[in-house]
Copies of this chain bind each other. A is one copy, B any other.
Amino acid sequence: MKILWLFAHPDHRSLNGALKTEGLRTLEAHGHQHQLSDLYAMKWNPLVDAADYDHDPTDRLLVGEAAERAHATGHLSPDIASEQQKLAWADTLVLQFPLWWYGMPAILKGWFDRVFVKGFAFGHTDPATGRPQRYGEGPLAGKRALVVVTAGARAATLGPRGVNGDLNDLLFPLQHGTLWYTGIAVVPPLLIPSADRTTPDAYATAATCLRHRLLTLPTTDPLPFRHQNTGDYDDNLLLHPHLTPTPPTGPAAHYTTTPPPNSP
Protein backbone atom coordinates (compact mmCIF):
# COMPACT_ATOMS: atom_id res chain seq x y z
CA MET A 1 0.00 0.00 0.00
CA LYS A 2 0.93 3.63 -0.46
CA ILE A 3 -0.78 5.31 2.47
CA LEU A 4 -1.53 8.93 3.20
CA TRP A 5 -2.13 9.15 6.96
CA LEU A 6 -4.04 12.20 8.15
CA PHE A 7 -3.56 12.82 11.87
CA ALA A 8 -5.57 15.45 13.76
CA HIS A 9 -4.69 15.65 17.45
CA PRO A 10 -2.86 18.52 19.15
CA ASP A 11 -0.63 16.34 21.36
CA HIS A 12 1.72 13.53 20.34
CA ARG A 13 1.67 12.16 23.88
CA SER A 14 -2.03 11.34 23.52
CA LEU A 15 -3.70 7.98 22.98
CA ASN A 16 -4.09 9.08 19.36
CA GLY A 17 -0.40 9.88 19.14
CA ALA A 18 0.60 6.47 20.50
CA LEU A 19 -1.71 4.67 18.09
CA LYS A 20 -0.40 6.69 15.15
CA THR A 21 3.19 5.70 16.01
CA GLU A 22 2.13 2.08 16.36
CA GLY A 23 0.26 2.17 13.07
CA LEU A 24 3.08 3.71 11.07
CA ARG A 25 5.60 1.28 12.60
CA THR A 26 3.37 -1.63 11.58
CA LEU A 27 3.08 -0.38 8.01
CA GLU A 28 6.84 0.08 7.71
CA ALA A 29 7.52 -3.36 9.15
CA HIS A 30 5.36 -4.87 6.42
CA GLY A 31 6.98 -2.97 3.56
CA HIS A 32 4.22 -0.43 2.97
CA GLN A 33 5.05 3.17 2.10
CA HIS A 34 3.42 6.13 3.77
CA GLN A 35 3.27 9.88 3.89
CA LEU A 36 2.04 11.57 7.06
CA SER A 37 0.04 14.79 7.26
CA ASP A 38 0.21 15.61 10.97
CA LEU A 39 -2.13 18.58 10.71
CA TYR A 40 -1.40 20.25 14.04
CA ALA A 41 2.36 19.78 13.66
CA MET A 42 2.14 21.23 10.12
CA LYS A 43 0.14 24.18 11.45
CA TRP A 44 -2.38 23.36 8.73
CA ASN A 45 -4.66 26.29 7.90
CA PRO A 46 -8.23 24.94 7.84
CA LEU A 47 -9.93 28.10 6.59
CA VAL A 48 -11.19 28.43 3.02
CA ASP A 49 -10.51 31.99 1.95
CA ALA A 50 -9.93 34.09 -1.18
CA ALA A 51 -6.16 33.80 -0.71
CA ASP A 52 -6.40 30.05 -1.48
CA TYR A 53 -7.31 30.78 -5.06
CA ASP A 54 -5.17 33.78 -5.99
CA HIS A 55 -8.51 35.58 -6.09
CA ASP A 56 -8.80 39.35 -6.39
CA PRO A 57 -10.22 40.27 -2.95
CA THR A 58 -12.14 43.19 -4.42
CA ASP A 59 -14.23 40.73 -6.45
CA ARG A 60 -17.02 38.72 -4.87
CA LEU A 61 -15.76 35.24 -3.93
CA LEU A 62 -17.81 32.38 -5.36
CA VAL A 63 -15.99 29.63 -3.50
CA GLY A 64 -16.71 26.66 -5.75
CA GLU A 65 -16.00 28.50 -9.00
CA ALA A 66 -12.86 30.20 -7.69
CA ALA A 67 -11.48 26.89 -6.40
CA GLU A 68 -12.18 25.08 -9.67
CA ARG A 69 -10.56 27.84 -11.72
CA ALA A 70 -7.50 28.02 -9.47
CA HIS A 71 -7.04 24.26 -9.74
CA ALA A 72 -7.41 24.27 -13.51
CA THR A 73 -4.90 27.09 -13.96
CA GLY A 74 -2.36 25.99 -11.34
CA HIS A 75 -3.10 28.87 -8.97
CA LEU A 76 -4.14 26.92 -5.89
CA SER A 77 -2.32 27.82 -2.70
CA PRO A 78 0.88 25.71 -2.47
CA ASP A 79 -0.19 24.05 0.80
CA ILE A 80 -3.35 22.77 -0.90
CA ALA A 81 -1.47 21.60 -3.98
CA SER A 82 1.00 19.76 -1.79
CA GLU A 83 -1.77 17.80 -0.05
CA GLN A 84 -3.36 16.98 -3.40
CA GLN A 85 -0.03 15.59 -4.61
CA LYS A 86 0.19 13.34 -1.55
CA LEU A 87 -3.33 12.05 -2.14
CA ALA A 88 -2.67 11.53 -5.86
CA TRP A 89 0.36 9.44 -4.91
CA ALA A 90 -1.53 7.34 -2.33
CA ASP A 91 -3.78 4.38 -2.98
CA THR A 92 -5.02 4.37 0.61
CA LEU A 93 -6.09 7.07 3.05
CA VAL A 94 -6.13 6.67 6.85
CA LEU A 95 -7.94 9.39 8.79
CA GLN A 96 -7.20 9.35 12.50
CA PHE A 97 -8.85 11.72 14.94
CA PRO A 98 -10.65 12.06 18.26
CA LEU A 99 -14.42 12.32 17.79
CA TRP A 100 -15.19 15.90 18.87
CA TRP A 101 -18.86 16.81 18.94
CA TYR A 102 -19.59 13.67 16.91
CA GLY A 103 -17.42 14.75 14.03
CA MET A 104 -13.95 15.66 12.88
CA PRO A 105 -11.84 18.26 14.69
CA ALA A 106 -12.03 21.56 12.78
CA ILE A 107 -8.45 21.20 11.52
CA LEU A 108 -9.37 18.00 9.67
CA LYS A 109 -12.73 19.28 8.41
CA GLY A 110 -10.80 22.18 6.93
CA TRP A 111 -8.45 19.78 5.17
CA PHE A 112 -11.40 18.52 3.13
CA ASP A 113 -12.90 22.01 2.74
CA ARG A 114 -9.66 23.20 1.13
CA VAL A 115 -8.13 20.14 -0.57
CA PHE A 116 -11.21 18.49 -2.14
CA VAL A 117 -11.56 21.02 -4.94
CA LYS A 118 -13.76 20.60 -8.01
CA GLY A 119 -11.69 19.20 -10.85
CA PHE A 120 -9.40 17.37 -8.41
CA ALA A 121 -11.86 15.45 -6.23
CA PHE A 122 -15.12 15.70 -8.19
CA GLY A 123 -16.69 17.43 -11.18
CA HIS A 124 -16.03 14.82 -13.86
CA THR A 125 -18.83 13.69 -16.18
CA ASP A 126 -19.39 10.33 -17.86
CA PRO A 127 -18.94 11.11 -21.56
CA ALA A 128 -21.37 8.34 -22.55
CA THR A 129 -24.30 9.31 -20.33
CA GLY A 130 -23.62 12.92 -19.38
CA ARG A 131 -24.21 12.06 -15.73
CA PRO A 132 -21.84 13.52 -13.15
CA GLN A 133 -19.48 10.92 -11.71
CA ARG A 134 -20.15 10.94 -7.99
CA TYR A 135 -20.84 8.45 -5.21
CA GLY A 136 -18.70 5.50 -6.21
CA GLU A 137 -17.27 7.08 -9.34
CA GLY A 138 -15.02 10.07 -9.73
CA PRO A 139 -11.42 11.23 -9.93
CA LEU A 140 -10.41 9.41 -6.74
CA ALA A 141 -12.05 6.06 -7.54
CA GLY A 142 -9.78 3.09 -6.96
CA LYS A 143 -8.50 4.41 -3.64
CA ARG A 144 -9.57 3.14 -0.22
CA ALA A 145 -10.02 4.85 3.15
CA LEU A 146 -10.17 3.82 6.80
CA VAL A 147 -11.40 6.09 9.59
CA VAL A 148 -9.73 5.47 12.98
CA VAL A 149 -11.56 7.34 15.70
CA THR A 150 -11.24 7.58 19.47
CA ALA A 151 -14.28 8.51 21.55
CA GLY A 152 -14.91 9.09 25.22
CA ALA A 153 -18.21 7.20 25.02
CA ARG A 154 -18.67 3.48 25.50
CA ALA A 155 -18.95 1.49 22.26
CA ALA A 156 -22.60 0.48 22.74
CA THR A 157 -23.71 4.11 23.05
CA LEU A 158 -22.29 4.63 19.53
CA GLY A 159 -24.14 1.57 18.20
CA PRO A 160 -27.53 1.20 16.47
CA ARG A 161 -29.49 1.76 19.70
CA GLY A 162 -27.00 3.99 21.52
CA VAL A 163 -28.08 7.41 22.73
CA ASN A 164 -25.38 9.12 20.66
CA GLY A 165 -26.44 7.53 17.38
CA ASP A 166 -24.67 4.86 15.38
CA LEU A 167 -21.07 5.65 14.45
CA ASN A 168 -21.67 5.01 10.75
CA ASP A 169 -24.57 7.47 10.83
CA LEU A 170 -22.49 10.09 12.61
CA LEU A 171 -19.72 9.60 10.06
CA PHE A 172 -22.14 9.57 7.10
CA PRO A 173 -21.21 13.11 5.97
CA LEU A 174 -17.54 12.05 5.89
CA GLN A 175 -17.69 8.43 4.78
CA HIS A 176 -20.54 8.81 2.26
CA GLY A 177 -20.82 12.54 1.52
CA THR A 178 -17.10 13.20 1.19
CA LEU A 179 -15.06 10.04 0.58
CA TRP A 180 -17.58 7.92 -1.36
CA TYR A 181 -18.75 11.09 -3.17
CA THR A 182 -15.32 11.33 -4.80
CA GLY A 183 -15.14 7.62 -5.57
CA ILE A 184 -13.10 6.45 -2.58
CA ALA A 185 -14.23 3.09 -1.15
CA VAL A 186 -14.50 3.22 2.65
CA VAL A 187 -13.91 0.21 4.89
CA PRO A 188 -15.78 0.08 8.23
CA PRO A 189 -14.38 2.53 10.77
CA LEU A 190 -12.20 1.44 13.67
CA LEU A 191 -13.66 2.80 16.91
CA ILE A 192 -11.46 3.04 20.02
CA PRO A 193 -14.11 3.69 22.71
CA SER A 194 -13.87 4.80 26.36
CA ALA A 195 -10.78 6.74 25.33
CA ASP A 196 -10.58 8.85 28.47
CA ARG A 197 -10.24 5.73 30.62
CA THR A 198 -7.73 3.70 28.61
CA THR A 199 -5.95 1.10 30.73
CA PRO A 200 -2.74 -0.61 29.58
CA ASP A 201 -4.83 -3.67 28.69
CA ALA A 202 -7.29 -1.57 26.70
CA TYR A 203 -4.40 0.09 24.91
CA ALA A 204 -2.91 -3.28 23.99
CA THR A 205 -6.28 -4.37 22.59
CA ALA A 206 -6.65 -1.15 20.60
CA ALA A 207 -3.14 -1.47 19.17
CA THR A 208 -3.81 -5.08 18.17
CA CYS A 209 -7.04 -4.09 16.45
CA LEU A 210 -5.33 -1.23 14.65
CA ARG A 211 -2.52 -3.45 13.37
CA HIS A 212 -5.06 -6.01 12.17
CA ARG A 213 -7.26 -3.45 10.45
CA LEU A 214 -4.28 -1.83 8.71
CA LEU A 215 -2.82 -5.07 7.40
CA THR A 216 -6.21 -6.33 6.16
CA LEU A 217 -7.21 -2.98 4.68
CA PRO A 218 -6.71 -4.01 1.03
CA THR A 219 -8.93 -7.09 1.43
CA THR A 220 -11.64 -5.77 3.80
CA ASP A 221 -15.10 -5.40 2.27
CA PRO A 222 -15.91 -1.69 1.94
CA LEU A 223 -19.12 -0.27 3.36
CA PRO A 224 -21.83 -1.25 0.88
CA PHE A 225 -22.82 2.26 -0.18
CA ARG A 226 -25.03 2.46 -3.25
CA HIS A 227 -23.55 3.79 -6.49
CA GLN A 228 -25.21 6.90 -7.89
CA ASN A 229 -25.22 5.76 -11.49
CA THR A 230 -26.05 2.04 -11.52
CA GLY A 231 -29.83 2.15 -11.23
CA ASP A 232 -30.67 2.63 -7.54
CA TYR A 233 -31.30 6.37 -8.02
CA ASP A 234 -33.57 7.82 -10.68
CA ASP A 235 -32.71 10.66 -13.07
CA ASN A 236 -33.50 13.18 -10.33
CA LEU A 237 -30.99 11.38 -8.05
CA LEU A 238 -33.74 10.11 -5.78
CA LEU A 239 -33.65 6.58 -4.40
CA HIS A 240 -36.32 4.38 -6.00
CA PRO A 241 -39.15 4.01 -3.46
CA HIS A 242 -38.93 0.22 -3.20
CA LEU A 243 -35.34 0.44 -1.90
CA THR A 244 -36.14 0.81 1.76
CA PRO A 245 -33.75 -0.44 4.39
CA THR A 246 -34.10 -3.00 7.12
CA PRO A 247 -33.72 -2.92 10.00
CA PRO A 248 -34.91 0.63 10.66
CA THR A 249 -32.06 2.18 12.62
CA GLY A 250 -30.06 5.37 12.43
CA PRO A 251 -30.92 8.94 13.32
CA ALA A 252 -34.66 8.35 12.79
CA ALA A 253 -34.67 6.17 15.93
CA HIS A 254 -33.87 9.15 18.09
CA TYR A 255 -37.04 11.10 17.26
CA THR A 256 -40.31 10.54 19.11
CA THR A 257 -42.25 11.24 15.92
CA THR A 258 -41.23 11.83 12.31
CA PRO A 259 -39.88 15.37 11.96
CA PRO A 260 -41.50 17.60 9.33
CA PRO A 261 -40.11 17.42 5.79
CA ASN A 262 -37.49 20.00 4.89
CA SER A 263 -39.07 22.95 3.18
CA PRO A 264 -38.04 26.55 2.93
Q: Least Cβ distance of A85 to chain B in Å?
A: 20
Contact of A258 among B10, B134, B247, B254 (CB under 8 A): B247
Q: Least Cβ distance of A205 to chain B in Å?
A: 7
Known contacts A156-B236, A165-B172, A170-B177; can you find 9 more A-B pairs with CB under 8 A? Answer: A14-B61, A47-B107, A63-B98, A64-B152, A105-B110, A106-B113, A224-B257, A243-B253, A250-B252
Tell me whether A239 is interfacial, beta carbon within 8 Å.
yes
Tell me whether A233 is interfacial, beta carbon within 8 Å.
yes
Which residues of B sit under 8 angstroms from A196, Cβ to Cβ? Answer: 62, 64-65
Tell me whether A89 is interfacial, beta carbon within 8 Å.
no
Q: How many copies are assembled?
A: 2
Which residues of B sit under 8 angstroms from A259, Cβ to Cβ? Answer: 168, 188, 223-224
Q: Are A264 and B206 in contact (CB under 8 A)?
A: yes
Cα distance, A132 to B246, chains bound together (Å): 32
Q: Which residues of A pack against B, CB within 8 Å?
A: 10-11, 13-14, 40, 46-50, 60-65, 98, 100-107, 109-110, 112-113, 116, 134-135, 152, 154-170, 172-174, 176-178, 188-193, 196, 205-206, 209, 221, 223-226, 228, 232-233, 236-239, 241, 243-264
Q: Are B64 and A254 in contact (CB under 8 A)?
A: no
Q: Least Cβ distance of A94 to chain B in Å?
A: 16
Contact of A233 among B163, B174, B241 (CB under 8 A): B163
Contact of A163 among B98, B154, B224, B239 (CB under 8 A): B239
Q: Are A254 and B176 in contact (CB under 8 A)?
A: yes
Contact of A176 among B14, B154, B165, B188 (CB under 8 A): B165
